[in-house]
Amino acid sequence: MEQTDHQKLQDKVAECLEEYNSVSKIRMDLVLFTAFIQHICRVIRVLRLPLGNALLVGVGGSGRKATTTLSTYVAQYTLYQIEM
């Protein structure tokens, strides 16, 4: 569903971020600007699709990891990371 009340959406994402920080070992102090919230919503929508997956592309420091981490937490999935 499309969310028309952007302030309500921002408050909900801030609440989810605060909840994530309370249960996580690694704290994420993020600035929740509109574009970031839109990306979180897109990733959640893709993850909830059957066999949903996404490839996030961007330069270093663009927020791919933070977006993915918060999106998987909101969607109530477990995040697995491959490290080299």
Query: Residue 41 domain-assigned?
Result: yes
The boundaries of the domain holding residue 22 are: 6-74
Query: Residue 80 domain-assigned?
Result: no
Model confidence over 20-74: pLDDT tens digits? 999 999 999 999 999 999 999 999 999 999 998 888 888 888 888 999 999 999 9
**Amino acid 59: pLDDT:** 86
Residue 46 in contact with residue 52, Cβ under 8 Å?
yes
Query: Residue 82 domain-assigned?
Result: no
pLDDT at 1 over 80: no
CB burial readout 39-55, b (16+ within 10 A) else e:
bbbebbeebeeeeeeee
Kindly report the pTM of this predicted structure: 0.84
Query: Residue 50 domain-assigned?
Result: yes
